[in-house]
Structure formats: structure tokens, C-alpha cells
């Protein structure tokens, strides 16, 4: 098993062949084009992509719900970014690029950008709330898997409506949830772990179909979207790692302190957390070991993940390392939803068989295969 040869087109998300190591020799003998074709277009069970849809639905529902506390401050005409300023940003903000000459000159290419949002045009608070509740309903349907594709597309439109209209309140989490939603509008996310699937089984059972309880068949589209999420995740990690390497604090091991002792991000108002930091600062060697190890862990994980996750033997180490990193970020830095988005993205590397076994064993209600 240890001498198994892997290629970049190894199949971490693939279905039944994934665990079948004996097939590897056969795969190695295939041409580059065939492997490329298999990498993108071999059918895969939709369990992984459906679980991602479910989690994305829950996350976007929570994110949209959180706008409710001060909805008009974010998307109202007299909000933090008022109507006039929002229009200015999208219609009258010059954008420059460097000229194609050996000079410092720049060229203005446009004053407009392609931001779009229903909240640019709906300024009556009543109708703003109507749209907000409409988007919330779509998010809920997406999470439940009810009219999955329609609700996913409306959820994506809704998420972009807030993001474009309220640019001042955005952070990394918004970028991640939009990535998830973007891929979910292509994905067949309602094929399983959804009310759509549940009702479909119910109809088939009532119609006397003997195959009513068969699991959904593998789909090319599941694999295609899973691959896109995987590659996007690798780009995110690689960009995050290489940009960190530009900073001296990531090299001398002090960057983690800048993250952990940032009063505005961390739970430093909780005495246990602060006591722990004080304890560390009173033990310099321990402090240095923990801070340096944390920096090395972050950089090594982020920079190696895009390469090592494709290796069968290292895949689970990479996935576990990533989940640990984001759990830490979620717990220590208060960026819980951001971390959940990242963990949802990394789920794309988990084979559908694994998810199937996990949910068949521990799932509840309509998520269990024999639930009808």
C-alpha cells in the first residue's frame, strides 16, 4: 500500500473506486487525457455535495438572519453607507491601471463597476423587509433542501444583494459564503439529505416502485462541482500562505501573538482567556514555543495543503489539520461563522462514501436512508 503511486489527478472525492487501491495500477497505465477526463467527469455519488448544500443553507440562513438586528443600518437608504454614497461607489469611482509603457502613468479605464443589488433600488423600509424575509425563506428552503435549485439560486442572489449594497460591513466570511453559494447554484445539491429527496422517495414508494429506497445515482455534475471547490480551496490556502510569508512576524514567530492578543477580535474580556495569555507571557520559553509552533503550523499547513491533499496517504492528515486550524480560529478569534464556512469548503475533500456511512449511522429524520 505504501508504494502506491499517486498523481495530481488522484481522486480524493471519487466514489466507489476511491478505496479500491488495486485499481491504481490500472489508472497509472491510463493516458494523461484519460486521467484528466476522469478527474473532472467521472460520476460521483452526491452525498458530499448535498451535505455541503445543507451546511451552506444553514450558514446563509444564519448570516442573513443576523442582518435582521440592524437591517436598515446596512441596506437602508440612510444606513452606514447611505444611498448617495452607494450610488457613487458603483457609478462614479474611477479605476486606474498602469499604462503599457515604461512610465509611472496610469490610465483611467472606467468609473462604474458591475455591483448589483435589489437594495440599491428598494428604499422603502417596508419593501426592504419584504425582500429580506423573502431571502430568509429561500435560505431556509435551501437548508431543508426544498425546491433546492430554485432556493439556492435565490439565496445566492440574496447574499449578493447584501454584499454589494453594504460593502462596509464585509469580512472574510462573506467571501467564503459567496464562494460556497456560487458552486451550489451549479451543483445537484438537493439529490440527497433534502426534503426534495424525501418527498421523491415517498412518491415512488406510494407508486409501488420497488427501487424507491435506492440511493441516488452517481452524477458527473457532483464530481465537477466538487473538483471546482477543491481547486478553489487550494488557491485560497496557497494565497493565504504566500501572502503571510511576506511578513516578518510570520517568520520570527510573533504573528500569532498579534492574532491572539488582539482585544477587538479575541475573547480577552473573558478572564480565563486573559489569564492564559498572562501565564504564557510569564513563561517566555513556553510562549516562544507555542507562538512559533502556531506560526509554523499555519504556514506549513496552508502552503502544503494544495499539494499534499491529493495524496491518498496524507489526505486525512491535511483535512484534519485544516479542521483543527479553523476550529481554533473559530474558538479563539470569535470568527465562528467564517470558520464554519472554511470547514464546509474543506468537506469537498471528504469522499461521499464516508459521508454516507456517517449519516446512515448517525443521521436523523429524513436524512436517514430508510426514513420513509
Task: Kindly identify the residues of this chain, within the stretch 5-24, that bind another protein according to CB under 8 A.
Answer: none
What is the nearest approach in angstroms of another protein to the Cβ of residue 223?
A: 11
DSSP line for 246-283: TSHHHHHT-HHHHHHT-TTTS-TTSHHHHHHHHHHHTS
CA dihedral 259, 248, 341, 133 (to 10 degrees): 70
- What residues numbered 290-349 form the site for another protein, per CB under 8 A? 334-337
CA dihedral 116, 121, 127, 129 (to 10 degrees): 40
Question: Residue 372 and residue 279: Cα distance in Å, rounded?
Answer: 55
Q: Check residue 240 for interaction with another protein (CB under 8 A).
A: yes
Q: Check residue 164 for interaction with another protein (CB under 8 A).
A: yes
Q: Which of 22, 263, 361, 365 binds another protein (CB under 8 A)?
A: 263
Q: How far does CA 276 lie from the centroid of its chain? A: 31
C-alpha cell at 177: 459564503
C-alpha cell at 314: 496524507
Q: Check residue 269 for interaction with another protein (CB under 8 A).
A: yes
Q: Which stretch binds another protein (CB under 8 A): 13-21, 52-60, 228-236, 318-326?
A: 228-236
Q: Check residue 103 for interaction with another protein (CB under 8 A).
A: no
Q: Check residue 276 for interaction with another protein (CB under 8 A).
A: no
Q: Which of 12, 57, 158, 190 binds another protein (CB under 8 A)?
A: 190
Strands (E), the chain: 95-98, 106-110
C-alpha cell at 50: 448535498
By beta-carbon proximity to another protein, the closer residue of 278 and 357 is 278
CA atoms within a 13 Å half-sphere pointing along the CA-CB vector of 123: 11
C-alpha closest to that of 226 among 5, 12, 3, 1: 12
Q: Check residue 28 for interaction with another protein (CB under 8 A).
A: no
Q: Check residue 147 for interaction with another protein (CB under 8 A).
A: yes
Q: Which of 8, 19, 133, 175 binds another protein (CB under 8 A)?
A: 175
By beta-carbon proximity to another protein, the closer residue of 3 and 248 is 248
Q: Check residue 49 for interaction with another protein (CB under 8 A).
A: no
Q: Check residue 126 for interaction with another protein (CB under 8 A).
A: no
Amino acid at each position: 500500500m505504501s508504494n502506491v503511486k499517486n498523481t495530481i489527478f488522484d481522486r480524493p472525492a471519487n466514489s466507489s473506486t476511491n478505496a479500491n487501491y488495486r485499481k491504481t495500477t490500472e489508472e497509472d497505465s491510463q493516458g494523461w487525457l484519460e486521467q484528466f477526463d476522469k478527474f473532472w467527469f467521472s460520476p460521483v455519488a452526491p452525498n458530499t455535495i448535498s451535505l455541503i448544500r445543507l451546511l451552506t443553507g444553514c450558514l446563509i440562513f444564519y448570516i442573513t438572519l443576523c442582518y435582521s438586528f440592524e437591517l436598515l443600518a446596512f441596506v437602508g437608504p440612510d444606513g452606514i453607507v447611505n444611498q448617495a454614497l452607494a450610488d457613487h461607489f458603483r457609478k462614479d469611482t474611477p479605476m486606474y491601471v498602469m499604462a503599457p509603457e515604461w512610465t509611472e502613468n496610469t490610465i483611467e479605464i472606467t468609473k462604474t463597476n458591475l455591483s448589483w443589488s435589489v437594495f440599491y433600488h428598494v428604499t422603502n423600509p417596508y419593501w426592504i423587509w419584504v425582500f429580506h424575509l423573502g431571502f430568509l425563506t429561500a435560505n431556509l428552503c435551501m437548508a431543508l433542501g426544498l425546491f433546492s435549485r430554485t432556493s439556492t439560486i435565490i439565496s445566492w442572489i440574496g447574499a449578493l444583494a447584501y454584499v454589494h449594497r453594504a460593502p462596509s460591513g464585509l469580512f472574510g466570511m462573506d467571501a467564503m459564503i459567496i464562494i460556497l453559494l456560487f458552486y451550489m447554484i451549479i451543483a445537484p445539491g438537493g439529490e440527497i439529505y433534502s426534503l426534495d429527496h424525501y418527498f421523491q422517495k415517498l412518491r415512488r414508494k406510494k407508486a409501488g416502485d420497488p427501487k424507491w429506497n435506492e440511493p441516488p445515482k452517481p452524477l458527473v455534475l457532483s464530481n465537477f462541482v466538487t473538483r471546482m471547490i477543491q481547486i478553489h480551496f487550494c488557491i485560497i490556502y496557497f494565497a493565504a500562505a504566500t501572502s503571510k510569508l511576506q511578513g516578518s512576524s510570520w517568520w520570527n514567530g510573533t504573528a500569532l501573538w498579534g492574532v491572539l492578543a488582539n482585544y477587538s477580535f479575541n475573547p480577552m474580556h473573558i478572564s480565563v482567556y486573559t489569564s492564559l495569555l498572562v501565564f504564557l507571557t510569564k513563561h517566555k520559553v513556553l510562549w516562544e514555543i507555542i507562538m512559533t509552533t502556531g506560526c509554523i503550523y499555519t504556514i506549513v499547513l496552508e502552503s502544503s495543503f494544495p499539494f499534499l491533499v491529493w495524496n491518498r496517504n496524507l489526505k486525512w492528515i491535511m483535512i484534519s489539520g485544516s479542521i483543527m486550524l479553523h476550529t481554533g480560529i473559530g474558538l479563539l478569534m470569535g470568527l465562528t461563522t467564517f470558520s464554519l464556512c472554511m470547514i464546509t469548503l474543506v468537506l469537498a475533500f471528504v469522499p461521499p462514501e464516508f459521508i454516507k456511512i456517517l449519516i446512515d449511522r448517525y443521521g436523523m429524520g429524513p436524512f436517514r436512508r430508510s426514513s420513509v
